Amino acid sequence: MVKIGMMIGDRYEILEKIGTGGMSDVYKAKCHKLNRYVAVKVLKQEFSENENFVSKFRIEAQAAASLMHPNIVNVYDVGAENDIYYIVMELVEGITLKKYIERKARLSYKEAVSIAIQVSMGIEAAHNNHIIHRDIKPQNIIISREGKVKVTDFGIAKAATSNTITSNVMGSVHYTSPEQARGGYSDEKSDIYSLGITLFEMLTGRVPFNGETTVAIAIKHIQEEIVSPKEYVPEIPGSVEAIVLKCCQKSPDRRYQNMAEVIADLKQSLISPDEDFVVARDMDEEASTRTISEEEMAQIKRKARRQDAYEEQMRLSSQYTRPPQEEEYYEDEEYYEEDEYDGGDGRMEKVTVVLAILAGVVICSIILVLVGRIFGVMNRDDIGSKIDTSVEESSGVMQPEGTAPPPEGGSSVLTVHMVDVLGWDVEDAKKEMVRIGLVPEVTTVESDTYEKNKVISTDIAEGAEVEVNSTVVLTVSAGTEAKNVPDVTGLTYEEAYNKITAEGFLVNRLESYSATVEKGRVINQNPLGGEPAADGSSVTLSVSLGLEEGKVLMPNFIGGDRIAVEEWIHENGMILQSIGEEYSDIIAEGLVCYQNFSAGTSLDPGTPIVFKISLGRDPAAGITYKCNATIEAPTITEAPDYSSGSDVHVLLVTDAGKVLMDATTSSFPLPVNVYGITSQWGTITLTYTSTVNGVPESKSVQRRIEFVQE
């Protein structure tokens, strides 16, 4: 488990949690080796325990680490430590495109196209390295404070989808392509479709397909034609409309065939927005007869076999089963050997045998019941009680309604299927959650479309299988006359109670241990202070019980001596993992300059502790470098297709990750004068656009540069 203040990989100090998602939690951390801040994405425990998923996750993350582009959130490192699997990425200060759209309602076509161009350039760089994103959506696009647009989570979607991660975890169905919704093969053109949906949302402030369930939305992606964005925003230029519609064609062959084509048309739309230059692909002319290659034939056979097996499974099952995942088509693996596939007759024979057995079981059951009634051995009530008792005794625990008993010899964890409570009264929905074995948690938002106290959404999708006693968040309408909840965090419970009830709200009290909040004071609240809630609705307060019994509070040893450290470890039953040494500009020689858990962290006895003792100031710490140089345009040797006088994006970054120059120019040589550099080496990346067969392409060249000691 990751805790604030701990060290991962002997170099990344976890500072704070900055985000969470379906698969992972994201933390801000400091890399002590390169002295820079990074983002560390840590897999959640349920995925860390899946060895197959972890293996694929690491392979895909390592592939993504090979990508270096200004419009991609760069991956620096991938690692594992004590069952913690993590990815270290570039830390981008900014907001997601999703939040940016929500703030502005919708974007102007120029701003939307400009963002789409930068996103496309990042995706193109990945495609050129044979990496497909598979989860392009506004939530995975970050706009930095400097206005840079960066795409994140490259390669990770493949690992997730290839291991049957459920839809409520993996991505959003609002942006998925028809072929992904069908569980089929996906390639670069799937990313193009998702980019089109994202551009649609930027232009209109809404997604083109919506519905009450993820299945309903997926079916719309497959069956319904997309509505023109001009129907919502008539002033959208015709060329931009045509680009969106071409990106979002149902057939991949009718879309743009690569990102270079998309970028070319997007750039042209900024120059000639009302010009009709977007070319629709005529599949009737292109559908000439051709010979199928052996590789294509093998893929068709695999696909057909998997579909046949799936249809047979659907005939035998009385419950909905997930369709085959896309890995089954894009991986070069055989899922059915030739000698195992016995064709249609063999399958029908198996179906007939199974149906005959089921029919025999039903008939025998009827006969037993009739005989029992005739002889008074049992009645209907007896049958019901015996069934209930057998289920409870077999699992060893009481089961809520709707749960399935664990398989014989398998895990004893009980699961339940989420029911649809959208539009229900909140109290009825809470009772239903308790009835099926889930723990309801309510959050409220203002709404002019849902009546007050009606459920708007849930964080667990309908039909999803979850463990009993899992928490489900019900988002409930506060109506249009909501009031802001007072902020009571840090107050005593009595003070908080009086303040909240005075505003007309009810109070729910929860208690939890805290190493940092005094006993009896409020740790946090839901809804948060300042958020709207319906008059008379409940506010849940988490009240501190103080430090948990048996836990140990980590003191602050920074600046203290080694003897105090060793005494504390001995008195509290901790394990001294190591005491190292390192240079420090702040802490005097011989004193503690580092501890692997921050002061105030709650620890269990036996926790491994790492300390470091200061060696004083590093003799080489005062060495700095300067860069007084001129950057020349791409040479003929580096870039034969570069046209002199055209724009070039110049990025100069030190090996420590510090950006010294980030500019676009057509004038060379470009002077650079920077002082106080802490790294001796850096890299210059020159990105330019060349035209091949009439199609613009983005290309880059790199140069190493050595800085001069000051």
Residues with a known catalytic role: 135
Structure tokens at 418: 């989420």
3-state DSSP of 339-407: HHCCHHHHHHHHHHHHHHHHHHHHHHHHHHHHHHHHHCCCCHHHHHHHHHHHHHHHHCCCCCCCEECCC
Rounded distance, CA 626 to CA 338, Å? 66
Nearest to 152 by CA among 21, 32, 34, 1: 21
Cis check for the bond before 527: say yes or no (omega within 30 of 0). Answer: yes
The single-letter DSSP state of residue 13 is E
Nearest to 522 by CA among 499, 556, 491: 491
Compute the Cα dihedral for 201, 204, 210, 212 and give only its sign: positive
Rounded distance, CA 43 to CA 20, Å? 10
CB 537 within 8 A of CB 547: no
Rounded distance, CA 143 to CA 125, Å? 18
DSSP per-residue codes, 48-111: HT-HHHHHHHHHHHHHHTT---TTB--EEEEEEETTEEEEEEE---EEEHHHHHHHHSS--HHH
The single-letter DSSP state of residue 571 is H
CB 218 within 8 A of CB 118: no
Measured from the Cβ of residue 210, the count of other Cβ atoms closer than 10 Å reads 11
Nearest to 282 by CA among 246, 240, 248: 246
Rounded distance, CA 404 to CA 449, Å? 36
Backbone Cα Rg of the chain: 30
Rounded distance, CA 513 to CA 575, Å? 24
Nearest to 196 by CA among 273, 113, 124: 113
DSSP-derived 3-state class of residue 151: strand
225-249 as b/e, with b when 16 or more CB fall inside 10 Å? Answer: ebebbbeebeebbebbbbbbbbbbb
Residue-level length of the chain: 710
DSSP per-residue codes, 624-635: -EEEEEEEPPPP
Determine what percent of the chain falls in helix, strand and coil, rounding each to the nearest 5.
35, 25, 40
Cis check for the bond before 532: say yes or no (omega within 30 of 0). Answer: no
Nearest to 199 by CA among 248, 260, 143: 248
Residue type, 219: I
